[in-house]
Structure 1
Amino acid sequence: MAIQQIAVRHGWRTEVWQLAMDAALRMADPSPRIHAHRLLGSAYADLDRPEEGVVHLA
């Protein structure tokens, strides 16, 4: 997605994952959404923010 690439280039990290999650939510196949949540949960755990990560892993 071009908009995600622009956001990455400008260092808009929060916007990148929000755009990715929005795109995943709009897909008929739930697999991308599940994968995105798993990645976000792991990222929050890596950042020592487990309370936020659990929301994505539950």
Structure 2
Amino acid sequence: MGLLTVKEVADRLKLTPYTVREWIREGKLKASKVGGVWRIKEDNLSALLEESGGKAAC
């Protein structure tokens, strides 16, 4: 289990970092601040993808 940055998640999902941060604020994607920067567990990203049927939910 690794920690991903907002940019890494955005790159994997072909989204903008802004969209990923919006999902964090809206509670769609669970994340934690580490040193003032958002970090997303790979498990949390996998859970989001499973809930959305493998597609990024807008």
Using the size of structure 2 for normalisation, the TM-score is: 0.33
Using the size of structure 1 for normalisation, the TM-score is: 0.33
Higher strand content, 1 or 2: 2
The structure with the larger Rg is 1
